Structure 1
């Protein structure tokens, strides 16, 4: 790895980290010596990159530090294109359109020598399976998740039994064959995962649920950990 690329990768690692990153962790990820990490960190600080910390404790990048937004590696470009292709093929029309626009914007913004990694990536998503038809306006659900408002739904379970629920929508999950709406259910007083193709009707209420999404997400992760032993990433 060229030194310039290595310095860029150190910044990227620090940028994505939520806690101080030790020199040992940096050396392991980049497959270089700890001494080289110390030298590179010193060089970055000398270039006025706002890194704080010290050996043995860890390093932190100032969260306000910004870099040119599309200084991406070929692997990062292909990862972005792969994710955008998946979204374009499997999500609701509004999000699919946004994914196609994202690919076009990336292609227009990157240097000429990197455009083949966007136009002709070495990876691709498999052909999507047909999702069961549903009547839910997923784009509006995403908006209700952002603003923290409730939904009232009529739901039919796998046995055909119908129920009405008031829910606090949290997350839309995409599997290969189904789409799931993660929500807090007032009826059950628990988190529930609703298949969107089984939601017969939905009313978008103006009533807020008054719980911050970050708090609700933390509670759901804890619920999943207790339910299935799944420790979801933060």
Structure 2
């Protein structure tokens, strides 16, 4: 493997780890010796990558170091295009627009050969139903999740009964036919799932919910037996 590609692969590995990872594990994944790995770490640090750690302790890449456009492989570009097209076709109006804008920004900085790959990809999104009209509350839900703020809902269940709920939203699931809000329900004192198309009214609250979104997501996954991604 060319050294330039190996350095990019090493950066990508480090970006995938939220906690320090040992040099032994990194070297094994790259298929190089520890000595080579140490040299590569030093080379990346000289180029500005904020890699903290030392031999025997593990390494961690701090946020803020950006990779050049050349990091994208053809497979990665196809994945970006496919995902963005799905969101542009299935997402609410704001999310769909964001997907299109993101693709345009990526195309603007890609070298010509890779830009041609982005333009000419043959991976298509099949027919589907846009959820923009059915789920008008999605932008407000996403904003509440980002801000870790409570939501007051008027919700209609499967039987057609309506109830007032205050929830702590921390995740939003995208399925082919529906969108599902995952949150802690103050009324039921437990985790609950709310179909976005059954939310009759929604009022964002200024009050932040206690705890952090990541902690709630972890607890919910454990309660559902879902492995962390």
Asked if TM exceeds 0.5, the reply is yes
Q: Which residue of 2 aligns with 1:96?
A: 96
Does the 8 Å contact 1:191/1:220 carry over to 2? no
- 1:129-157 CA deviation, whole Å, 9 max, x = no partner? 56596354211222233334333222222
Aligned to 1:162: 162
Equivalent residues of 1:132, 1:178 under 8 A apart: no
> Per the alignment, in what secondary structure is the counterpart of residue 69 of structure 2?
coil
Q: Which residue of 1 aligns with 2:25?
A: 25
Contact 2:50 2:61 in 1 (8 A): yes
Q: Secondary structure at the match of 1:102?
A: helix
Residue matched to 1:204: 203
1-side partners of 2:48 and 2:19: how far apart? 21
* Structure 2 residue aligned with 1:116: 116
Contiguous gaps of at least 5 residues in structure 2: none
Evaluate the alpha carbon distance shift between residue 12 and residue 205 of structure 1 in structure 2; reply closer, same or farther with a 3 A threshold. Answer: closer
Give TM-score scaled by structure 1 length: 0.83
Q: Secondary structure at the match of 1:24?
A: helix
Task: Tell whether the 8 Å contact from 2:87 to 2:99 is kept in structure 1 after alignment.
Answer: yes
Other-structure match for 2:185? 185
TM-score scaled by structure 2?
Answer: 0.84
1:85-122 deviations in Å (ceiling 9; x for gaps)? 22112111111011011111111111112102211235
Give the corresponding residue for 2:69.
Answer: 70
Q: CA separation in 1, counterparts of 2:216 and 2:144? A: 19
1:219 is matched with 216
